[in-house]
Structure 1
Amino acid sequence: MNQAGCQAKQGGFTLVELAIVLVIIGLILGMAFKGKDLIDGAKVKSIAAQYNKVQAAFNIYFERYGAYPGDGCPAVIAVGVTTCAGAKSGTLSPAAETQGAFTLLQNANLLSASDIQSPFGGPWGITISTNTTLSGGVAGINYFSLVTAAGAPQASADPRYVCALDKMIDDGVFNTGNVRSVAPAAYTAATDCWALTGAPYMVGMRLLP
């Protein structure tokens, strides 16, 4: 009888034990989701910090040399300020100027290679906007954008980060202000950025002029 009674008592968990287990599982899941939110927020802040650093580097270079890096460069990627002896327009175009800008900033010790590597895995570059490159983009304006190996604008940014970045440093609207995206990135200041899904977006942050 005693043995049978012991076996009967080993049947399962009590309600208190189950409640404790559920609470522990809830805490673990809560920490996991919170950790992901922190990582996502950190990526957006990292992009904003990179953009601010590039802007600062452009301004310091201008103060030193009287022209923006890349402006007036020949049809090769520049290695020093003396190689950019062409006419200065105040914007970077064509490709020789946009591709030479970061090389000059790195050679001047104003940027490092990590400063132009985006959290999306691809490099940042400088593009010259047309009216169709970025939604509502102003023709002739230089943007700090994700680019292909050839320096062309590339749609490879997570839409959630693009929207959150726009809200953090600009007006939160995809086709106005200094941060521009492309269709279907039709978010507004009222959009829940973290609910966005779909294909990667192109993004540009205004640099010059």
Structure 2
Amino acid sequence: MSLYHRGQRGFTLVEMAIVLVIIGIILAAVLKGGELIGNAKIKRFYNEQREIFAALYTYYDKYGYFPGDDPAASGRWPGVTVTNGNGNGLIAVGAASTAPNFACSGTGTEQCDLWQELRAADILTGSGFTNPTHPYGGAIAVSYYTMPAIAGGTALTAHWIHFQNVPYDVCQAIDRLYDDGNAGKGAIRGTADYMAATNGVYQLSFKF
């Protein structure tokens, strides 16, 4: 017995066109939604840097020293273990350039005591010495450090807020939006030239 019925017909060209238009609208909405989510994540990442910056200077305004560098920190909060800093104005080992430590676990260095002190002072949420993390999953560190000469720039020793394992395209977007678009110049820098990258993750550092 034939399953074909004389009255059956396929889609007309107009109906197919309408379906394709609807599919196109749905795809455009999905792509636009993904773009909006990506842009919001970049904005949240940048705002986290500003929040750390504000926390550092809130502590400085309150106690007269940067956290970690505070020479009276060990006596400020009963029951909280920290090591006094040397009070020289630098979050570092002495006056030397100090590479960022993204895996703090205890007292003894200014850049790790920094997190405990910010939390003990109720300026930063959380507890202990553990580094906070950013929206792309890497850790955050703060130190007085010499960023290397790369991408036609010159080395610069200063205080930096360092972000670990930032996707290359996010580094590029942040540098273009908020600085000069060069990984070796300005107030936003890297330890490698993320502006020339097409893949991978990089360290992104903000001068303060």
Matched, 1:100 2:98: no
Query: Contact 2:168–2:195 (CA<8 Å) still a contact in 1?
Result: no
SS at match of 1:201: strand
Query: Contact 2:138–2:166 (CA<8 Å) still a contact in 1?
Result: no
CA shift, 1:61, in A, is 0.8
| TM-superposition CA deviations, 1:136-176 (whole Å, max 9, x none) | 57454222113xxxxxxx4x111111111122322222111
Cα 1:80–1:104 shift into 2, 3 Å: farther
Normalized per residue, the structure richer in strand is 2
| TM-superposition CA deviations, 1:102-126 (whole Å, max 9, x none) | 2211221111249932011122112
Query: Contact 1:128–1:141 (CA<8 Å) still a contact in 2?
Result: yes
Aligned to 1:150: none
TM-score, normalization by structure 1: 0.75
TM-score, normalization by structure 2: 0.75
Aligned to 2:96: none
Between the two proteins, the alignment pairs up a number of residues equal to 184
Query: Contact 2:70–2:86 (CA<8 Å) still a contact in 1?
Result: yes
Matched, 1:112 2:128: no
Matched, 1:168 2:177: yes
CA shift, 1:130, in A, is 2.8
Matched, 1:43 2:60: no
Which moves more between the two structures, 48-57 or 112-121?
112-121
Among residues 129, 132, 137, which one is paired with 2:148 in the alignment? 132
Which one-letter code corresponds to 2:145 in the other structure? S
CA shift, 1:10, in A, is 2.0
Which moves more between the two structures, 26-35 or 158-167?
158-167
Aligned to 2:201: 200
**Matched residues, percent identical?**
31
Measured in 2, the distance between the counterparts of 1:137 and 1:65 equals: 34
Measured in 2, the distance between the counterparts of 1:28 and 1:144 equals: 41
Query: Contact 1:71–1:90 (CA<8 Å) still a contact in 2?
Result: yes
> Structure 2 unaligned runs (5+)?
94-100, 102-108
> Structure 1 unaligned runs (5+)?
147-153, 188-195
Query: Contact 2:142–2:160 (CA<8 Å) still a contact in 1?
Result: yes
Which moves more between the two structures, 93-102 or 61-70?
93-102
Normalized per residue, the structure richer in helix is 1
